[in-house]
Structure 1
């Protein structure tokens, strides 16, 4: 009797296991561990834009413009998501074996050929495409900080769309899609050029084309809600682990080291900025320490998968120091109204981090090492080539796009509308009912 029961039990278990075994054989190249990590990392990077960046930027503007910033971040997230699925992913990452140096093809438009079992390495290609989508979302959202409080919503959406198509997608392909910079051996682990230099230069050009806000620099324009800004900054810090460590595309030692050096870069950038401000102005500010954090994170981003703790510490300190003085110089000496300091924090940080990657990636300084036959000097020149190419392309195309939009529909709200505030004028709402 016992033998019969045991036999029946085994037969039942065998039947239950058949579908699982068949499913496993269909996706034999899939790594569940890597897939789980990449799903988590994707959520973290999306979390950086909404709500992280939206709250960070929203707290920095004046009360009358808080909803306009939240609206821009949210609307850009939605628009980029649709464009990415239609053809953005394909243009950035599909080459069809042709190894096009400048732009991908349309072979994966509308996610053609990508199904449940389609893999990118050992993770589902759907997850890879979604992960990269979150980078495409946050980059034009960062640019918003350069022209905050004075651009029409219609112009913002049109600029973000054209900038994504003409600037982000080509540069993304150059660096990560087997384009000419990747072929030259450029090292950009998670977006020093693709995200930070790209967005920083575009924000600077936008600030210059639109001109200063009414009253700048004579009228004080302090953040209206630093509590909101700090909450957003904390979300950015946590989300950045997905941004950088997720770029390893695996749950492995590289992802672990990337997470560690990312945290070191953020902490070093925060403290350096805080002490610079303390020495120069007599008091450390909350705005200063969280801005230093963003500078440290942006600067360590390109180097994060290539350097060790020593490199991260040096890069973080460099970020806090250089970005602090860049921000003060632009606002106080040059009177450039980059509203939320996108260029001096992200642009300058991206330049520093991308360049120093070529230095601290060498094994003698704790890095992963350079390619065979490549010297530190040679790698630094390659890094600088990538920085220069990205800056020139982003700057030139952004200028042309902005001028074209200005001629077509106008970029800027009127002086009266700017005085009243974009929340009421453009969205017929107010952020607070006090």
Structure 2
């Protein structure tokens, strides 16, 4: 046994000595190589290169375009104010129900360098939680940092049309439901997509995910997690106190014209009640809309429209069909994905396929046997519109669309207590129509 132990120990010592010797020789060889590199570098530095060196603008050995000059001679340079509106939601868990509502904010911000900005916002939210009769109110003061990924990766440009930034920040909240107050804090993380519309105005879309302490809803005692997870799908406008002279107002140029669109089709609701009580094809009703729009860029546009639609949401024996009516307006941004395939001006293309998304603001009237229910709502809508030009100015399109409409209804429980329940109507419609160049 002792002989075996001596053999193992001697083998380990011999191996260790060999590794140390190899490492020493490698280090000496590496030092010689480094010395040769240094000598070469010194020899290269003797040469005078008066030209522009792209390596000065490299990022991890990748080419990065040269930055434009960032000038901030006075406080108003690169300073802006913002106004935003969003759908606001609290994610439920096994003990508490989800909540949804609306959020509005005003803010002021400033870009301190090519990639970093600070934004201070103050605003409020109003939301409803299922099975609770009264709305919740939240006042919030937030400090948000933006990091401009576009400038960091592609170089700083004052006239860039689309910029993407990360958004991260903290906030303090004061919340009230009924007569109970609560206080808490939030941490936010999201992305900002900014579209330069003119020399001073920007439009932006900003999805944000937030982590709040439980004080955002002071009357909820069942939330043993002691926190709330929230999301916002935000749209807003910014006014810049400085002017970006290289930006052009493209919808005033002749080669990118505005257009009018109108159409109609059928509408129904995607819900268990419709599928069981009415059946999908028996529930359909009419849907019609009219609007105007403009392609600000060959791949990006804005448009607004007015609409009306109805469908059968339930039926009662002896009373017949009950209809739900919707009317209002939509404000959408349009993305044309085929631009990156054809790379041609949109006025020269016979086929386009705009992907449209934005808020839907409307009025709903739901007919029932005992009473009718009416409410205003702010929802979200999305559609895709393949469009084929049949003449120089007239196009024909088909448009499937989906809208998510949140609203709250006060209902009485078995004990006579009034409870406000949240509902989400998933409305889809299929339309056909025409566009006409203005």
Q: Kindly indicate which of the two structures has a greater share of residues assigned to helix.
A: 1
TM-score by length of 1: 0.25
Using CA pairs under 8 Å that are at least 6 residues apart, name the structure with larger relative contact order, 1 or 2: 1
User: Over alpha carbons, which structure has the higher Rg?
Assistant: 2
